[in-house]
A and B are shown apart, each in its own frame.
Chain A
Amino acid sequence: MAVGDSTRLEIIFNTKRYRNKMTKKPRIETNEGPPHKSVTIITNVVARPDSTYPLIIKPYKLDISQFSPTKVRDEMKFNITNVSDKDLTVTLISKPEGVFDLQLPDRVEAGKSAQGILKLRPDAIETSFEKSFTIELNDDKTSRFTIPVKRTRRTPGEPAKKATAGHGH
Chain B
Amino acid sequence: MKKTILITLLASLIFGACSISAAPRLLIENDQFNFGFAPQNSKISHIFWLKSAGDDSLKILKVVPG
Interface positions of A (Cβ within 8 A of B): 1-19, 24-32, 37-47, 49, 52, 60-61, 94, 96-97, 130-132, 134, 136, 143-146, 148, 150, 163, 165, 167, 169
Contact = CB atoms under 8 A, between A and B. Distances in A.
Describe A's contact surface by its main secondary structure: strand
Residues of B in contact with A, size category: 35 or more
Contact of B36 (A27, A40, A144, A169): A144
B52 to A, nearest CB: 4
B23 interface: yes
Given A26-B63, A32-B23, A47-B40, A39 B47 contact: no
Interface in B17-42: 23-26, 28, 31-42
Nearest to A16: B41
B63 A29 contact: yes
Contacts of A8: 47-50
B62 to A, nearest CB: 4
A134 to B, nearest CB: 6
Contacts of A18: 40
A27 B65 CA distance: 7
B40 A17 contact: yes
4 pairs of A and B residues whose beta carbons are closest in the complex: A144-B36, A25-B66, A148-B42, A49-B39
B58 interface: yes
Nearest to B32: A40
Given A28-B26, A132-B45, A49 B37 contact: yes
A46 B25 contact: no
Contact of A146 (B25, B38, B58): B38
A118 B23 CA distance: 44
